[in-house]
């Protein structure tokens, strides 16, 4: 048996301690190379990937000036004092709740990164919001008359970091319009359905606009429609969007929608005998992000929702925006992308348009910058970017297009300005109606995978070449 003397043992321990201290001093460094020194191997240049200690995802104590929400019953605090400050202190399960009446928010609601679970009510959790709601998830939920989360955000109201996982099924087969969400329009009332919120608009003269930031919707939105005589107005509009149904002066940033939008019509058109009208004019707007908008801005946003519609009426569908009907400045769409497929079916006598980014633009033109479409689009009139005229810059389309009446790789109608934009050459013109645009080019599949083909694109701050070798936006969103 070997015997180690105490003196040698202490010496060994001393040496080991010294080595350990030196190792601990340098173990956390990513690189100890001095300036100009070449690293010994590739790992020396890698960033630290270990998770560093961070603040808890949930605040564990109610902040000063806030009221803690621990249960469904505690929401009554918000109902009775809508201008207060509130914070969720746990996940809240609505499984045993019936006949919920939506709450109005005029103050601040901090979701504290907790979840609303099993919300399956006839009404939305919040029916109006002019305050702030942030850091809240809704999961395993459903909507019956529209969004399960909120009916309307208005004026300076904001949604930040809201994540909705839900299915929405709206049966517009027998119900009257007053039973569903509407917005004021020239043809009031109109049906609006959105994944996050049904309506976003501003009533204020002080230019305070609602904002929706860092929000996501994942789920299926299905609308079954049948015209009935009880709907007495002469023109009916139905707007269905992945994030917002209808928006007027709203800013949408860093949002993403994933899932399906399906619109189905039943029966023949209803007949109105009064006032000499023998039929109802019916319009449908579908958008991966916003269905129908006036003067709204959409930035850094992605749509992954497939859109399908079978109608006997006029229908417009866009990967980002379905319809832009404005008075004044048009919407600004920047750094957005669509990968959702769009398939529309309608009668030959009806207007049926679909665009990768936007479908219809009435009066003032939308400005579309740094956007692209990779989704397949089928309709009567089809465009990779926008069917109607738009001001387009630094955009491209690689999605498969099929228009039974008109197909434009970028646009169907002529535009006053299209520059530095590109499209996969599939035999269709850049602009169906023609025109000369010197910096617009058709590219082969090989050329589209070459960064040098994209003159005018900013590959430092806006664009990057993706894993599929096609350009993608640097801020690419994931859900």
Give the pLDDT confidence score for residue 180 in this predicted structure: 56
In whole angstroms, what is the distance from residue 317 CA to residue 308 CA?
A: 9
Predicted confidence at residue 172, as pLDDT, reads: 79
pLDDT of 290 higher than 50: yes
Q: Which two tokens stand for residue 73?
A: 């019953």
Torsion, Cα 66 70 73 74, to 10 degrees, reads: 0
67-81, 101-115, 245-259, 319-333, range with the lowest pLDDT: 319-333
In this prediction, residue 56 carries a pLDDT of 55
d(CA 142, CA 264): 19
Residue-wise pLDDT for 426-466, tens only, equals: 999 999 999 899 999 999 999 999 999 999 999 999 999 99
Name the token pair of 242.
């992945």
**DSSP-derived secondary structure for 417-468:** -EESEEEE-SS--SBTT----TTEEEE-HHHHT-GGG-TT--TTTTEEE-TT
Compare 385 and 33 and report the one with higher pLDDT: 385
Average pLDDT over all residues of the chain: 83
Question: What is the per-residue pLDDT for 449?
Answer: 97
- Is pLDDT above 90 for 422? yes
Confidence (pLDDT) at 51: 38
Question: CA 88, CA 138: separation in Å to the nearest integer?
Answer: 13
Confidence of residue 7 (pLDDT cuts 50, 70, 90): very low
Share of the chain above pLDDT 70, in %: 76
Give 479's pLDDT tier (boundaries 50, 70, 90). low
Average pLDDT over residues 71-91: 98
What digits encode the pLDDT tens for the residues 161-219? Answer: 999 999 999 987 655 555 555 554 444 457 899 999 999 998 876 678 899 999 999 99
Q: C-alpha angle with apex 402: 399 to 404, nearest 5 degrees?
A: 160
Nearest to 298 by CA among 312, 310, 288: 288
Phi, psi torsion values for 450, nearest 5 degrees: -115, 120
Residue 10 token pair: 């202490």
Secondary structure of residue 317 in the 3-state scheme: strand
pLDDT, one tens digit per residue, over 103-151 is 999 999 999 999 999 999 999 999 999 999 999 999 999 999 899 999 9
Which candidate, 208, 84, 85, places its Cα nearest to that of 156? Answer: 208
Q: What is the pTM of this model?
A: 0.84
**What pLDDT is attached to residue 388?**
87
Rounded distance between C-alpha atoms, residue 180 and residue 245, angstroms = 12
Could you tell me which residue, 48 or 129, shows the higher pLDDT? 129
Residue 18 confidence (pLDDT) above 50: no
Residue 249 has pLDDT above 50, yes or no: yes
Do the bridges between strand 367-369 and strand 391-393 make them parallel or antiparallel, or are there none, so unpaired? Answer: parallel
More confident residue, 160 or 326: 160
Q: What tokens were used for 213?
A: 């930031």
Comparing C-alpha atoms, which of 356, 261, 359, 262 is closest to residue 316? 359
> In the structure encoding, which two tokens stand for residue 379, read together?
């309709």
Residue 130 · residue 157 · CB < 8 Å:
yes
pLDDT at position 10 over 70: no
pLDDT for residue 348 is more than 90: no
| pLDDT of 268 over the 70 cut | no
Q: Is the CB of residue 158 less than 8 Å from the CB of residue 135?
A: no
Give me the pLDDT at residue 53, please. Answer: 43
Decide if pLDDT at 68 tops 70. Answer: yes
User: Which of 6-20, 124-138, 167-181, 254-268 has the least mean pLDDT?
Assistant: 6-20
- What phi and psi, each to the nearest 5 degrees, are found at residue 71? -150, 175
Nearest-CA neighbor of 242 among 182, 311, 179, 298? 298
The Cα–Cα gap between 250 and 157 comes to: 10
pLDDT number for residue 178:
53
The answer to whether residue 11 scores a pLDDT higher than 60 is no
Q: Mean pLDDT lowest for which of 200-214, 258-272, 360-374? A: 258-272
């Amino acid at each position: 048996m070997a015997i180690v003397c105490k003196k040698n043992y202490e010496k060994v321990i001393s040496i080991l301690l010294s080595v350990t201290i030196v190792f601990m001093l340098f173990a956390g460094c990513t690189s100890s190379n001095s300036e100009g020194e070449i690293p010994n191997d590739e790992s020396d240049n890698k960033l630290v990937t270990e998770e560093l200690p961070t603040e808890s995802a949930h605040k564990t104590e109610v902040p000063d000036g806030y009221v803690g929400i621990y249960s469904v019953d505690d929401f009554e605090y918000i109902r009775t004092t809508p201008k207060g400050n509130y914070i969720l202190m746990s996940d809240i399960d609505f499984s045993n709740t019936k006949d919920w009446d939506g709450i109005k928010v005029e103050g601040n609601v901090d979701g504290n990164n907790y979840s609303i679970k099993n919300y399956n009510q006839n009404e939305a959790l919040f029916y109006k919001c002019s305050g702030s709601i942030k850091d809240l998830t809704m999961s395993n939920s459903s909507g019956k008359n529209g969004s399960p989360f909120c009916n309307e955000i208005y004026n300076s109201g904001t949604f930040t970091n809201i994540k909705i996982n839900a299915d929405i099924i709206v049966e517009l087969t027998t119900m009257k319009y007053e039973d569903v969400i509407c917005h004021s329009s020239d043809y009031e009332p109109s049906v609006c359905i959105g994944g996050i919120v049904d309506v976003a608009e501003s009533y204020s003269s002080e230019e305070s606009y609602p904002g929706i930031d860092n929000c996501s919707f994942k789920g299926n939105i299905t609308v079954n429609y049948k015209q009935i005589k009880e709907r007495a107005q002469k023109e009916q509009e139905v707007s269905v969007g992945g994030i917002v149904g209808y928006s007027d002066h709203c800013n949408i940033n860093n949002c993403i929608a994933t899932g399906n939008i399906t619109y189905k019509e039943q029966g023949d058109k209803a007949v109105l005998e009064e006032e000499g009208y023998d039929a109802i004019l019916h319009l449908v707007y579908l958008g991966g992000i916003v269905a129908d908008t006036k003067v709204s801005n959409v930035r850094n946003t992605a749509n992954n929702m497939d859109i399908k519609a079978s109608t006997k009426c006029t229908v417009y569908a866009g990967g980002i925006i379905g319809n832009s009907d404005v008075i004044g400045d048009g919407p600004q769409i920047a750094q957005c992308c669509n990968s959702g497929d769009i398939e529309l079916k309608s009668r030959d006598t009806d207007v049926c348009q679909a665009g990768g980014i936007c479908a219809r633009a009435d009066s003032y033109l939308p400005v579309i910058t740094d956007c692209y479409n990779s989704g397949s689009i089928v309709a009567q009139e089809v465009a990779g970017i926008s069917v109607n005229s738009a001001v387009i810059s630094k955009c491209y389309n690689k999605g498969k297009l099929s228009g039974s009446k008109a197909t434009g790789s970028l646009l169907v109608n002529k535009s006053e300005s299209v520059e530095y934009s590109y499209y996969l050459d599939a035999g269709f013109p850049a602009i169906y109606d023609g025109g000369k645009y010197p910096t617009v080019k058709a590219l082969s599949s090989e050329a589209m995978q070459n960064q040098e083909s994209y003159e005018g694109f900013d590959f430092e701050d806006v664009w990057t070449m993706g894993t599929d070798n096609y350009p993608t936006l640097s801020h690419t969103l994931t859900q």
